[in-house]
Amino acid sequence: MHRGDAAEAPERREDDVLSRAYHPQAIAVAVNTWRGRMIHEHESAAVFAAIVPQLMEAGATIDFKTTVLRCAMDEFRHAALCEEVVEFLGGPAGAEIELELEPVPWHDDCSPRVGALRNLLFASLTETISMGLLMEERERVQEPYIARVLQQLAADESLHARVGWTYLAALHEELTQVERQAMRDYMPVALGYLEKCLLEAMPLSPGNEPPLDVMADIFALGFSDSRKGRSLLYASIEEVLLPRLDAFDLAATDAWSKRR
């Protein structure tokens, strides 16, 4: 499994400065949002790292174990890149974060390989949707340095999105009927939790949207608006995730209607 390649190293260079003046409100939104992204990348790193011992217990092949470990390392790098963007935008250097990490479940109700598959597949479902959101942001970004960072994130996330699907494909024919049913039973929970997590990451602003000139600056600094993001979320679930999961006989479309 190989990742996409970014054209240029995304790390901040000495000559990277804002290419123009931006509305102060847009800068404030961007600082806060990139800081939130930094926290999310730390959390994703912890999730991928926690899946590695589960893959070991499940007897996964070495390529899956090393790929997932690489995903964790990528996410730590992404967190550092996001922190650099915060500083680039005038935010606090070395911004401290307090992580409240939820433990990655071991799924005692199923076999070790189904437990590992559930967690890795869920991580890749999240990354699959993130790919669509990153594409939207890359189309709108105008700040060259931030464009480089988004390009690197997208290049790495393509690998992160594929690994769970590839693991599902590798195990699909080997799963027993009991294990396959355990995966189906997990779908309403997984899809409901996926929806909850991603909606929380795209809060709707109370009251009116910022003026158009402020929104244009926000887009130029690497963000889509939450309403568009939510629309992309549901389109990705219904047009991409559910058909692919159904193709593996996981009854995902039915599970989506019963999500909880």
The pTM score is 0.91
50 within a domain of the structure (yes/no)? yes
Confidence of residue 14 (pLDDT cuts 50, 70, 90): confident
pLDDT at 94: 65
84 within a domain of the structure (yes/no)? yes
206 within a domain of the structure (yes/no)? yes
Q: What is the residue range of 188's domain?
A: 24-94+105-257
From residue 100, alpha-carbon distances to 39, 153, 171, 219 in Å are 10, 23, 32, 29
**Higher pLDDT among residues 203 and 46, named by residue:** 46
Token pair of 96 as six digits: 């401290």
Closest Cα to residue 33, out of 206, 231, 215, 221? 221
Task: Tell me the CATH number at 59.
Answer: 1.20.1260.10
Instruction: Report yes or no: 232 and 136 within 8 Å, Cβ to Cβ.
Output: yes
3 within a domain of the structure (yes/no)? no
Q: State the Cα–Cα distance between residues 123 and 130, nearest whole angstrom.
A: 11
4 within a domain of the structure (yes/no)? no
Over residues 216-242, the mean pLDDT reads: 93
- Among 1-5, 57-61, 147-151, 165-169, which stretch is predicted with the lowest mean pLDDT? 1-5
Q: State the Cα–Cα distance between residues 209 and 63, nearest whole angstrom.
A: 46
126 within a domain of the structure (yes/no)? yes
224 within a domain of the structure (yes/no)? yes
How many distinct structural domains can be found in the chain? Answer: 1
Q: Which long-range contacts (CB under 8 A, 24 or more apart) does 208-214 make?
A: 210/25, 210/26, 210/29, 213/23, 214/23, 214/25, 214/26
Beta carbons within 8 Å of 232's beta carbon, 6+ residues apart = 129, 132, 133, 136, 224
7 within a domain of the structure (yes/no)? no
- 17 dihedral zone (left: phi>0; alpha: psi -120 to 50; beta): beta
